[in-house]
């Protein structure tokens, strides 16, 4: 495996869901011996949190579950270059996926954009006419600690599928 595979997670402000997913994925790739072949980062579709650290509640939940708290993370807004420079971009919600698809270059070059939970075997299976919103990772921002726990569970449930998908792509 000589090519580095680049994965990016994307939420709204890049202080809760996407950095949580970035950290969980990075740990999972390392646990599966893929950390030398896969780079994971995160962004947000909004610039309102630009430069801010991971939300304190997200940090607390991550730490409580044995993950790094993302001490060096600083929120940033996704760009067209980000989308073009990644192999797989994982949207936390249907809204984020639509925003990302608007950033795809006219020539179609760049990342494959997928819903994060589309890799969760327990997530709803979309049928014709159903919206991607059924695969949204719940936004914990306006809730309490339990909402951050739910968010982490949703991220963890999809992670093995993402790791396997990337492993297959690297082997191809």
Q: Is 139 a catalytic residue?
A: yes
- Catalytic-residue membership of 56: no
Q: Give the number of other CB atoms < 10 A from CB of residue 171.
A: 7
Which of 35, 37, 139, 147 is labelled catalytic? 139
Say whether 17 is catalytic. yes
Nearest to 70 by CA among 47, 42, 39: 42
The closest of 68, 72, 101, 93 to 9, measured between CA atoms, is: 93
| Candidate list 11, 55, 114, 151, residue with the active-site label | 11
d(CA 15, CA 73): 9
CA dihedral 2→5→61→120, nearest 10 degrees, is -120
Query: What torsion, rounded to 10 degrees, do the Cα atoms 25, 26, 32, 36 define?
Result: 140
Instruction: Tell me which of 17, 114, 117, 167 is the catalytic residue.
Output: 17
Cα–Cα dist 34/106, whole Å: 32
Give the catalytic positions in this structure.
11, 17, 139
């Amino acid at each position: 495996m000589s090519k580095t595979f680049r994965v990016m997670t994307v939420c709204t402000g890049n202080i809760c869901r996407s950095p949580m997913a970035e950290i969980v994925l990075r740990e999972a790739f390392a646990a599966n011996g893929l950390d030398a072949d896969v780079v994971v980062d995160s962004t947000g579709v909004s610039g309102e949190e630009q430069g801010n650290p991971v939300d304190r509640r997200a940090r607390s939940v991550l730490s409580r579950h044995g993950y790094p708290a993302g001490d060096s993370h600083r929120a940033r807004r996704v760009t067209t270059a980000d989308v073009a420079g990644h192999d797989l971009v994982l949207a936390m919600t249907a809204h984020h996926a639509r925003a990302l698809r608007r950033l795809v270059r006219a020539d179609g070059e760049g990342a494959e954009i997928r819903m994060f939970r589309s890799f969760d075997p327990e997530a709803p299976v979309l049928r014709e006419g159903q919206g991607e919103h059924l695969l949204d990772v719940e936004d914990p921002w306006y809730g309490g600690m339990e909402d951050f726990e739910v968010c982490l569970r949703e991220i963890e449930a999809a992670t093995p599928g993402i790791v396997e998908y990337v492993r297959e792509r690297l082997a191809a």
